[in-house]
Amino acid sequence: MGEKKPDFPEHFLDNVGKALKKSVLLRDHSNFRIGGKADYFFEATSIPELVKSILLAREHSIPYFIIGGGYNLLFDDDGFRGLIIKNSVKGIKQIGEKAEVEALAGTLLRDLIQFSINKGLSGFEFLAGIPGTVGGAVFSNAGAFGNSIGKFLKDAEILSKEGNRVKVKRDYFEFRYRHSVLSKKCDVFLRAVFELHKGEKEEIKARIEENLEKRKSNHPPEEVACAGSYFKNPVLPDGRRVPAAYFLDKVEAKDLRIGGAAVYGGHANFIINEEKASAQDVLRLAQELKGRVRERFGVELEEEVIFLPAGSSTP
C-alpha cells in the first residue's frame, strides 16, 4: 500500500463521519461478478462525502478508483490495493419549466429515464436498457442506436484533479464515440444539466418499448454476468465504423471459452462469466479474440470494458 499513513481509516472517520469498509469483495460490486478484495471501500451518498473521501485518499497517498454501478468494469482477481469509492450520490430535478434536467452523477440511468417520461421530456429514449449511473455514462459517452449521452449535456460540475469544484460546458468533455475527457484528465464528474425537448408521454414510452425490444433480440438478459460490449466498434481506414461483432462472428468467436469465461451465443461482442470465471480467464479470452481478428483482418480491436489492475495507482 505504498506510503499510506497508518491512521487513514481513523482520519477518514473523523473527517467524513462514516467508517470505511475493509477487505470488501469487488465481485459484489461488478456486474461481471468477478474480482477479489479491495483494501478499503466507501459508498458516498452526498457530494461533500464524495469530495472529502477523494481528498483524504489523496492526502494519504492511497490509490483510489470511483465506480458507479460497476456495469462496465472488470476487477482484478487480486482486488484493489487502495480505496474503491462507489458514487451513490443521487438526485434529479427539472430546471423550472424548461426541457432541462439536472442529475447528480450517482443517479441511475433507469431513474433518469423514468423521470423524463413522468415530465414528458423526450431525448433519452435511446438510453433505455443501458445499465449504470449517469457518471459512468458520461465517462464513456454511453450510447445506442446512433445516439449518445454527451449530445444532451449542456453544462456540468466536476472535481478537478487539483481538487477544485469547477463548472464546465459540453465542449470541455471532448465527447466522441465511447469517449470523454474524464479518462484523460482524471476529473470526477459530479453533476450535469441535460437539454431534452418536450414530447408526448405515450410516444416517449412507445419509443422506449421499441428500443428495449430491439435490445432483447441480441443482448444477454439481465441475469447474465457481463460488462456489456467487450470491444468498441472499430473504424476502418475508409472511415466506416463497423460493429466489432461483424469481425468476431467471422473468426468463430461464439465457439470460444477459456476457463469460466465464454463468448455469448447471442452476440459475439459479449464476454460472459458463465461459471466462476476469473479476471484472467476473461483477459485471456479477450486476447485470443483480438489476436484472431488482427490476424484475419488486420483490425486492432480496442476494449470498451475497463480492467482495473489491483496495483493501479491513481494517475
Q: Which of 25, 55, 144, 168 binds ligand FAD (CB under 6 A)?
A: 144
Strands (E), the chain: 21-25, 37-44, 64-67, 73-75, 80-87, 92-94, 100-104, 121-122, 143-144, 147-148, 153-159, 165-169, 188-195, 197-198, 226-229, 257-258, 261-263, 270-273, 306-308
For the record, the C-alpha cell of 189 comes out as 464528474
310 scored as a contact of ligand FAD (CB under 6 A): no
Nearer to ligand FAD, 8 or 71 (CB): 71
147-148 vs 73-75, strand pairing mode: unpaired
Binding characters for ligand FAD, 276-305, by CB under 6 A (x = yes) = ------------------------------
d(CA 75, CA 28): 10
Q: What would the DSSP string read from start to end of 130-149?
A: --SBHHHHHHTT-EETTEEG
288 is catalytic: no
Residue 20 and residue 10: Cα distance in Å, rounded?
Answer: 9
Closer to ligand FAD by CB, 281 or 292: give it: 281
Q: Which three cell numbers stand for residue 199?
A: 414530447
Q: Which of 178, 207, 257, 284 is catalytic?
A: 178
Q: Is position 70 an interface residue for ligand FAD (rule: CB under 6 A)? A: yes
CB of 132 to ligand FAD, least distance (A): 2
Indicate the residue among 107 and 122 with the shorter CB distance to ligand FAD: 107
Active site (annotated) includes residue 304: yes
Q: Which stretch binds ligand FAD (CB under 6 A): 40-48, 117-125, 142-150, 230-238?
A: 142-150
Pick the closer one to ligand FAD by CB: 15 or 314. Answer: 314
Instruction: Pick the piece of the chain touching ligand FAD (CB under 6 A) from 36-44, 93-101, 124-132, 294-302.
Output: 124-132
> By C-beta, is 199 or 228 nearer to ligand FAD?
228
DSSP one-letter code for 151: G
Minimal distance in Å, beta carbon 83 to ligand FAD? Answer: 13
At position 148, the amino acid (one-letter code) is: S
CB of 37 to ligand FAD, least distance (A): 18
122 has catalytic annotation: no
What contacts 213, CB < 8 A, 6 or more positions away? Answer: none
The answer to whether residue 182 forms part of the interface with ligand FAD (CB under 6 A) is yes
35 is an interface residue for ligand FAD by CB under 6 A: no
For ligand FAD, which residue of 47, 56, 72, 269 counts as binding (CB under 6 A)? 72
Q: Residue 159 and residue 2: Cα distance in Å, rounded?
A: 25
Q: Are strands 100-104 and 73-75 parallel, antiparallel or unpaired?
A: unpaired
Q: Match 489491483 to its residue by C-alpha cell.
A: 310
Using the structure block, give the residue that is written with the C-alpha cell 488486420.
Answer: 298
Measured from the CB of residue 171, what is the shortest distance to ligand FAD in angstroms? 18
Q: Which residues bind ligand FAD (CB under 6 A)?
A: 31, 65-73, 87, 105, 130-133, 135-137, 139-140, 142-144, 182, 188-189, 219-220, 226-228, 306
Residues known to be catalytic? 178, 229, 304
